[in-house]
Amino acid sequence: METIRKKNIPACHAEISKLESELTNLDSLIKMQKESVEMKDASMKEVQDEVNKLEDMLFKDFCAEIGVSNIREYEQEHLKQQQEVDKKRLQFETQKTRLGTQLEYEQAQLEQQGRKLKTLEDTMLKEERKAADQKKAKTLDYLSAFSYHQRSHNEKNKIISLAQDGHHYKRKGEIKEPEEEKLLKAVDETLSKMKDLKNQLLLKKNDVSDSKAEVDKKAKSLQEKSRELVKVQKEVISLETALEQKRMERHNSLFGCKIQGLPISLLSGSLDHISELQLDSESQSTSATLDIFEREAQMQIDYSDLRKESMDLDGEEAVEVELERLREVVSSLEGASSKVTRKCHQEFEQVKAKRYRLFSQCFEHVSIVIDQIYKKLCRNSSAQVS
């Protein structure tokens, strides 16, 4: 036991000495590496300073022109502002495109409604002329009947006067009996004709009144129909404008999905067919815009992955509520994703540290074994592996 102890103690002391020596070597190596890193950092700083000086010399006039101290300030501040300006410009161009398209569409609709209104005015003018002609004809008939009645009245007065003269002459014995009967018969016939003419005149007056009432009724009906037509035309224009806005919103949504690379399931068509609207007075027209909308209308989106509640949404408020719910879901998923990412990173660091520790232990053991073998080969306990 004592012998084993005497043998092990020197070996342990030798091991301790060796470990202390290695520790000293490692400390020196670490110190050297730190110094090397510091030197490299200083060298990199010097190089970066030289680069900054060269950049300052190169962009001196440009920085003075735009009013910044150096180009790095411009890159950090102004480029960010430029990106925001570009984003605002893109939004402005999109809004300009939408309003331009809507303006062209409204102008086309206005021209179409103007043509319809002119046609309606021509129709109303023809109806008014027709009604005036009918009224004029009825008036002429009435005047003709009235003139005939006046002549009949004059004839009646003349006949009555003749009859009175006949009675007068009869009393004097100047008219014979056959002539008296003939004269009375003529008077009766004339009175009968006058009565018939009066009846016909009354019928004509009634016809004129009925015709006038009918003309007034038709004119009133025509005015009501004209007002209804104008109301319907306004509703049609409003619906067409709303439809145009929906088409533009659909186009912007599809184009945004294409730009952002969002996956959309399509039953027919492709997002590659979606292109940005460019309103150029020389090359773009309303027909071209409508052609783009017609191509997009042929694209059918697959909504089978949506929940039934989402597919049955009606109204903007319900859509906004659903969007808010989806935003909350996305936010929670992003939070969970961040937690999973942090956990994975921690696990990775743990595995990395464990592997480094095991590798260090293995490397240390191999170094010790190699050192022992080298000392045995050299038959010198103080020999060091270079």
Tens-digit pLDDT profile for residues 84-112? 887 888 888 888 888 878 788 877 877 88
Nearest to 246 by CA among 280, 297, 286: 297
190, 275: one domain: yes
Per-range mean pLDDT, top range of 47-51, 200-204, 312-316, 371-375: 47-51
pLDDT at 141: 62
Q: Identify the residue whose tokens are 């084993």.
A: 4
Better-scored residue on pLDDT, 289 or 49:
49
268: three-class secondary structure by DSSP: strand
167, 265: one domain: yes
Confidence of residue 276 (pLDDT cuts 50, 70, 90): low
**What is residue 307's DSSP assignment?**
-
What are the CB-based long-range contacts (under 8 Å, 24+) for 228-237? 229/120, 233/113, 233/116, 237/109, 237/113
27, 89: one domain: no
Q: Could you say which of 306, 340, 375 is where a domain stops?
A: 306
15, 136: one domain: no
pLDDT at 282: 45
24, 84: one domain: no
Question: Is residue 370 included in any domain, yes or no?
Answer: no
Averaged pLDDT of the chain? 73
- Token couple for 70: 């150096």
pLDDT at 129: 80
Per-range mean pLDDT, top range of 85-94, 270-279, 301-310, 327-336: 85-94
Question: Is residue 372 included in any domain, yes or no?
Answer: no
Distance from C-alpha of 148 to C-alpha of 227, rounded to nearest angstrom: 44
Q: Helix H segments across the chain? A: 2-58, 60-66, 71-73, 79-172, 177-260, 286-297, 308-311, 316-378
131, 213: one domain: yes
As a whole number, mean pLDDT of residues 223-230 equals: 77
Q: Residue 142 above 70 pLDDT? A: no
- Residue 279, phi then psi, degrees to nearest 5: -95, 100
Q: Could you say which of 283, 306, 329 is where a domain stops?
A: 306
Question: Is residue 192 included in any domain, yes or no?
Answer: yes
143, 281: one domain: yes
300, 187: one domain: yes
Interval 336-376: pLDDT, tens = 667 777 777 788 888 888 888 888 888 788 778 777 777 77
pLDDT at 170: 46
Interval 178-221: pLDDT, tens = 666 776 777 777 777 777 777 777 777 777 777 777 777 777 77
Interval 28-43: pLDDT, tens = 878 888 888 888 888 8
Q: Could you say which of 290, 306, 322 is where a domain stops?
A: 306
Distance from C-alpha of 261 to C-alpha of 255, rounded to nearest angstrom: 10
Question: Is residue 21 included in any domain, yes or no?
Answer: yes
Give the list of residues 6+ apart from residue 142 with CB closer than 8 angstroms, or none: 204, 205, 208
> CA-CA distances (angstroms) from residue 338 to 262, 332, 333, 346, 350?
21, 10, 8, 12, 18
- Is the CB of residue 255 less than 8 Å from the CB of residue 274? yes
pLDDT at 330: 66
The sign of the dihedral angle between the CA atoms of 73, 76, 79, 83 is negative
- Residue 370, phi then psi, degrees to nearest 5: -65, -40
113, 7: one domain: no
Question: Is residue 164 included in any domain, yes or no?
Answer: yes
As a whole number, mean pLDDT of residues 141-163 equals: 57
Q: What percent of the chain has pLDDT over 70?
A: 71
Task: Annotate 340-375 with DSSP letters as a single string.
Answer: HHHHHHHHHHHHHHHHHHHHHHHHHHHHHHHHHHHH
What's the full length of the chain, in residues? 386
Better-scored residue on pLDDT, 328 or 173:
328
Question: Is residue 302 included in any domain, yes or no?
Answer: yes
148, 196: one domain: yes
Q: Residue 113 above 60 pLDDT? A: yes
* Structural domain containing residue 14: 1-46
Q: What percent of the chain has pLDDT over 90?
A: 0
User: Based on the structure, what is the number of domains in the chain?
Assistant: 2
Distance from C-alpha of 58 to C-alpha of 207, rounded to nearest angstrom: 103
Question: Is residue 333 included in any domain, yes or no?
Answer: no
How would you label 142-154 residue by residue, b for 16+ Cβ within 10 Å and e otherwise? beebeeebeebee
164, 301: one domain: yes
Give the list of residues 6+ apart from residue 145 with CB closer than 8 angstroms, or none: 200, 201, 204, 205
As a whole number, mean pLDDT of residues 6-26 equals: 72
> CA-CA distances (angstroms) from residue 165 to 152, 178, 180, 185?
19, 16, 11, 15
Question: Is residue 18 included in any domain, yes or no?
Answer: yes
Q: Residue 177 above 60 pLDDT? A: no
161, 291: one domain: yes
pLDDT at 66: 75
- Token couple for 112: 């179409």
